[in-house]
Structure 1
Amino acid sequence: MCPVPARSGAAPRQASLADLGRPLSDLTFVVVDLETTGGSPATSEITEIGAVKVRGGQVLGEMSSLVRASTPIPPVVSVLTGITDSMLATAPTLDEVVPTFLEFSRGAVLVAHNAAFDLGFLRAAAQACGYPVPAWEHLDTVLIARRVVTRDEAPNCRLASLATLFGSPTEPNHRALADARATVAVLHGLFERLGNLGVTTLEDVREYSARVSPAQRRKRHLADDLPTGPGVYVFRDGADRPLYVGTSRSVRSRVRTYFTASEPRSRMAQMVALAERVDAIGCAHALEAEVRELRLIAEHKPPFNRRSRHPERAVYLRLTDELFPRLSRVRSVGDGVTYLGPFGSTQAAQEAEIALLAAVPLRQCSARLSPSRPTAACALAELGRCGAPCDGRQGVAEYAEVVGAAREAMSGDPGAVQESLEAHIARLAAEQRYEQAAEVRDRLAGYLRTAARRQRLAALTGIPEMVAAAPTADAGWDLSVIRHGRLVSAATVARGVDPRPWVDAVVATAETVRPAPGPTPCALVEETERIGRWLAAPGVRLVRLEGEWSWPAQGAIRAALRYAT
């Protein structure tokens, strides 16, 4: 064995096993998964614990237990997991389950998929039961997967996607033990890949996630002359092509992190290797920086940006303009049409279409119908899912009532869709068909989110001009001028300065916009949505408003809150 270099003036010493690291094959891991009543340990409770103990690729034991909760399980959670209040009525309490788990996991390295969630609940549970909170060593399979799994192999790092990639014999199903077993398969698959890279000890795994190449460090000088305030930065290659666009409240500090171990995304290392220059655009405040980022990404479509590159690919669901309207999926919509959207994908639009048709019996055939030329009805008429305007059983006036209900569900009150699908969910849950109920619930939640999105966008884009101010940390004001949902001017007013002349100045120098047809006449959808979130932040004040800013009292925005995740 080679001696380990000692500090200056000290004698060399022999390397120990601790210096070499602890081989993964010699360690005991406890892979754990929890089911809970919600997302926060402060307000939610554990309903199920599942754990699998493994060592050297072999399963040593398993632990699984339901946990009696002190409050009812929310219906949405019950549909997702299949765990009901009646199942927990005779389950052991948290005081009984926690000591069993602490003993089961003693001396082991904990593993979880999204470990921060599970460890947060476990620490809170130990504390609530009067036990010292263990200083668990742990690994997070999500973080490891982000380093070794490419997007070509799996669309994301969710447990279901990784379980499929690594051929897990157990399919994750939102039950604790099944998900823990699936995580074991993912863990072993990740360890196999890490072993091929020479990562064989627990210390190696931790170091691997923080690895920075010398070439990456040598480019730190690219951040030296960048502004220290809020703004947008653009990494460019030797041919001056944009590689990546980002934003930060402190551009120089953020860009420096790309050359250090604090940047965990492996694709960013590839981007930095290609980068030869970093340009920056200083902005008045964070909102302006975020808006400029969205515009630059949409314009240049940098290869290392994953989001916001293709706003033109949005999908809308619209009612056709004909005597017997039907639903149609389109890429754009003009003024004066009834539509729902935008959707991020055709699949999402199709799910919303299924939800709407389950509540409103619009025709689903694509032929152009005329009362003077009846045609044979399809099977949907016999099933009661269409009034058959094709063969004359439903006249123009009767069908117009159906179309009116569809218009209301798409642009006003989605109550008909919500009532229909919630009744379907209840029937499926009563029959213990929880997976199908979860699918219908997700479909309803997606419909309501999109309907709420449409109403927020319509409300904001209909305002000719709005001036708003947000308080800054140093008691100043961030000013924004918004016209038809587009940020057209921005400024920051320092503490103690009268903001009124500044308001006049930012309005006078604001960009002139000419509304185009469509739901977002002057800006990208994401820009208008980002402005909407900024306006809803605590402390933001309306300074001037031309027109009105409102949405339906019984509309989708209120309904969507029930299914917010």
Structure 2
Amino acid sequence: MVQETFDDLGTALSDVTFVVVDLETTGGSPAGSQITEFGAVKVRGGAVIGEFQTLVRPSTPIPPFITVLTGITNAMVADAPSIRTVMPQFLEFAAGSVLVAHNAGFDVSFLKAAAAETGHVWPGFAVIDTVRLARQLVHRDEAPNHKLSSLARLFSATTTPDHRALHDARATVDVLHGLIERVGNLGVHTLEELQSYSSRVSTAQRRKRFLADAMPSAPGVYVFRDGSGEPLYVGTATDLRRRTRTYFTASETRRRMTEMVGLAESITPIVCATPLEASVRELRLIAAHKPRYNRRSRFPEKSVWVKLTDEPFPRLSIVRSVKDDGAHYAGPFGSRRTAEAAVIALYEVVPLRQCTPRLSLSATKKSACALLEMNRCGGPCVGAQSAADYAHVAEQAAEVLTGSSRSVMAALRERLDALAAQERFEEAATLRDRMMALVRAAARVQRLRPLSEAPELVAARRRDSGGWEIVTVRHGRLAGTTVTPPGADPLPYIDALRETAEVVPPPGSGGNPVLTEETELILRWLETPGVRLVDLQGRWTCPVDGAGASRAVLEPAAARWHEVSTGEVSVATPLERPAGALHEGVA
């Protein structure tokens, strides 16, 4: 067994220098009140290593009731140094320490105000409040309240607090040591744990902290498992040890995570070469095991796509998967309802047939549906529209999904503007939502398709610590990744990675399906500053006037349309349209 160091676990309390401070003031708030006395005790490892005490001359008289409370009179402070002299001395005394105070908010607020008044930058001390700790550790049957005097009696303080700064600070030292002893019995041994201590964290939860002890300080994926080895939760971290330890402290406030930790019996670490690999592995594990405490990415198979079929008279269909069948696809959509909204939006401006039977070149139906009479369909089912004429209609729909969306989006925009101008706000809002569902799905597929179709892409990004992150992507799937040492020639590492990377078959060829979220993760990484394209087999392009260009224009306007449709903006106010945006194309 390897003995962990305190650097691994945090800063041991025995190694922390605490400065326990108490102030006497002319009032209860820094606004209009001033400090009249400093008292501070510096302790480390349970031993006192220094004290600081001085009266302070305020610029206004001390109120009589304060004199009665503290015993500090105007005569006592008449010859005392001013705050401009005392404050830098205190900051030097407390430098590099952790401040401790009883009701720390009061004392720290006065100290910050004094630092600002004297032109000093507040150092940003870590602060421990003994009142907050006592409220969680001392019960009513032990002390009537959590005042310093009550706690001093409970912990047998050697100094009785009497509203003089140094005496109160000395008493607070004994209270601090008594509280630290109590939390030590609960497994709290570091400054970080003391800062995040809360009685909301059960003793049983704290005792499970050992589950994180074997975690390496490295980036990767962690899997919480129950007694039978089933995954409960999957997550990623840049530092596995530090992240998993937070599940056993008050910094974890999610109720479902607390419940998950109660069931967990082990944590499996998976060290990853790069953060991208960790994110991809997380997605794959969630999709494969569907851990009950993960909320996102659990059911990628429930995503749906809008398909423009490949047949003599193509039609739109909502399907569960993408196949290499010559059809055009848009998506994926998170729900069937959103997919249906996109389909209806396309029907608004493209007169595709909406019947479901497959039609041959020789139509046999005797009568058409009402769409023919409404001029919403050319009636290919009854021979009113030839295959050649219908092909032009289908081409419009295909263009929206795979190429230029300029004309269709412009028509939808005009329809939306007309409805708003007629004050038909509910219809406008419905059309807006349908249009946005369509353009988002089309933009998504147009961005992802080139990466999914590329047999191989190799990219690299320089690491902050030196060397390179190397990534190999095949058909939109992370096939392999590695890192190179600082100063090393990356080319041999790239060659080795390509030889050992996963073989990924093309989409629709029957291999393991590539998760769309994975391809999106990879694409976001490729688009981050500093990434260099090393090699590409295939093409990586998007149409300049495709759905992405339309989305860039329409997304900012969606909020504006919402205001108009809800009556929050006068209908006389024209909807803003960037000059030529939907007609000239956006690169």
Q: Into which bin does the TM-score normalised by the smaller protein fall?
A: 0.5 to 0.7
- Does 1:254 pair with 2:248? no
Per-residue deviation at 1:368? 3.5
Change in CA separation of 1:470 and 1:386 when aligned onto 2, cut-off 3 Å? same
1:311 alignment partner in structure 2: 300
Counterpart Cα distance in 2 of 1:439 and 1:519 = 39
1:144 alignment partner in structure 2: none
Counterpart Cα distance in 2 of 1:210 and 1:285 = 37
1:230 alignment partner in structure 2: 219
Q: What per-residue deviation string (whole Å, max 9, x for no partner) do you get for residues 42-89 of structure 1?
A: xxxxxxxxxxxxxxxxxxxxxxxxxxxxxxxxxxxxxxxxxxxxxxxx
Alignment equivalent of 1:297, drawn from 254, 271, 286: 286
Counterpart Cα distance in 1 of 2:382 and 2:363 = 10
- Does 1:540 pair with 2:503? no
- The percent of aligned pairs where both chains have the same amino acid is 53
- Tell me if the contact between 2:339 and 2:437 (Cα under 8 Å) persists in the aligned partners: no
Counterpart Cα distance in 2 of 1:385 and 1:419 = 18
Counterpart Cα distance in 1 of 2:203 and 2:522 = 40
- Tell me if the contact between 1:358 and 1:417 (Cα under 8 Å) persists in the aligned partners: no
Give ranges in structure 1 of 5+ residues lacking alignment: 1-206
Per-residue deviation at 1:542? 0.8
Q: What per-residue deviation string (whole Å, max 9, x for no partner) do you get for residues 224-280 of structure 1?
A: 111211101100000110111111111111111111222232211111111000001
1:276 alignment partner in structure 2: 265
Superposition pairs of residues 467-546 of structure 1, within 5 angstroms: 467-517=458-508, 523-546=514-537
Per-residue deviation at 1:520? 9.8
Per-residue deviation at 1:555? 1.4
- Tell me if the contact between 2:470 and 2:481 (Cα under 8 Å) persists in the aligned partners: yes
**TM-score, L = length of structure 2:** 0.58
Counterpart Cα distance in 1 of 2:416 and 2:507 = 41
Amino acid across the alignment from 1:316: W
2:329 alignment partner in structure 1: 339
- Tell me if the contact between 1:481 and 1:490 (Cα under 8 Å) persists in the aligned partners: yes
1:220 alignment partner in structure 2: 209
Change in CA separation of 1:553 and 1:209 when aligned onto 2, cut-off 3 Å? farther
- Does 1:557 pair with 2:548? yes
- Tell me if the contact between 2:290 and 2:298 (Cα under 8 Å) persists in the aligned partners: yes
- Does 1:447 pair with 2:438? yes
Counterpart Cα distance in 2 of 1:522 and 1:498 = 35
Amino acid across the alignment from 1:555: G
- Does 1:245 pair with 2:258? no
Question: Partner of 1:469: helix, strand, or coil?
Answer: strand
Kindly tell me the number of residue pairs found equivalent between the two proteins.
360
Counterpart Cα distance in 1 of 2:529 and 2:344 = 37
- Does 1:465 pair with 2:456? yes
- Tell me if the contact between 2:218 and 2:240 (Cα under 8 Å) persists in the aligned partners: yes
Change in CA separation of 1:392 and 1:509 when aligned onto 2, cut-off 3 Å? closer
Amino acid across the alignment from 2:253: P
Q: What per-residue deviation string (whole Å, max 9, x for no partner) do you get for residues 306-332 of structure 1?
A: 111111112111123433221111112
Per-residue deviation at 1:439? 3.0
Amino acid across the alignment from 2:257: M
* Greater alpha carbon shift after TM alignment, 228-237 vs 500-509: 500-509
Q: What per-residue deviation string (whole Å, max 9, x for no partner) do you get for residues 142-178 of structure 1?
A: xxxxxxxxxxxxxxxxxxxxxxxxxxxxxxxxxxxxx
Per-residue deviation at 1:519? 11
- Does 1:366 pair with 2:353? no
Alignment equivalent of 1:349, drawn from 336, 339, 343: 339
Counterpart Cα distance in 2 of 1:562 and 1:471 = 33
Question: Partner of 1:361: helix, strand, or coil?
Answer: coil
Question: Partner of 2:482: helix, strand, or coil?
Answer: strand
Please report the RMSD computed on the Cα atoms of aligned residues, expressed in angstroms: 2.4
1:266 alignment partner in structure 2: 255
Change in CA separation of 1:238 and 1:484 when aligned onto 2, cut-off 3 Å? same
1:111 alignment partner in structure 2: none
Counterpart Cα distance in 2 of 1:209 and 1:350 = 49
Counterpart Cα distance in 1 of 2:515 and 2:199 = 36
2:190 alignment partner in structure 1: none
Give ranges in structure 2 of 5+ residues lacking alignment: 1-195, 557-587
Per-residue deviation at 1:361? 0.6
Alignment equivalent of 1:387, drawn from 378, 395, 398: 378
- Tell me if the contact between 1:485 and 1:522 (Cα under 8 Å) persists in the aligned partners: no
Per-residue deviation at 1:533? 0.5
Question: Partner of 1:258: helix, strand, or coil?
Answer: helix
Amino acid across the alignment from 1:296: L
Question: Partner of 2:233: helix, strand, or coil?
Answer: strand
1:427 alignment partner in structure 2: 418
Amino acid across the alignment from 2:248: F
- Tell me if the contact between 1:484 and 1:521 (Cα under 8 Å) persists in the aligned partners: no
- Tell me if the contact between 2:363 and 2:382 (Cα under 8 Å) persists in the aligned partners: no
- Tell me if the contact between 1:355 and 1:417 (Cα under 8 Å) persists in the aligned partners: no
Question: Partner of 1:562: helix, strand, or coil?
Answer: helix
Per-residue deviation at 1:552? 1.5
Counterpart Cα distance in 2 of 1:521 and 1:423 = 43
Question: Partner of 1:563: helix, strand, or coil?
Answer: helix
Per-residue deviation at 1:208? 13
- Tell me if the contact between 1:235 and 1:244 (Cα under 8 Å) persists in the aligned partners: yes
Per-residue deviation at 1:296? 0.7
2:570 alignment partner in structure 1: none
Amino acid across the alignment from 1:404: E
Q: What per-residue deviation string (whole Å, max 9, x for no partner) do you get for residues 112-138 of structure 1?
A: xxxxxxxxxxxxxxxxxxxxxxxxxxx
**TM-score, L = length of structure 1:** 0.60
Counterpart Cα distance in 2 of 1:449 and 1:215 = 47
Counterpart Cα distance in 2 of 1:236 and 1:531 = 28
Amino acid across the alignment from 1:542: L
Counterpart Cα distance in 1 of 2:507 and 2:472 = 19
Superposition pairs of residues 148-167 of structure 1, within 5 angstroms: none
Larger Rg: 2
Counterpart Cα distance in 1 of 2:234 and 2:224 = 7
Change in CA separation of 1:485 and 1:436 when aligned onto 2, cut-off 3 Å? same
Change in CA separation of 1:518 and 1:213 when aligned onto 2, cut-off 3 Å? farther
Counterpart Cα distance in 1 of 2:547 and 2:504 = 29
Counterpart Cα distance in 2 of 1:227 and 1:339 = 43
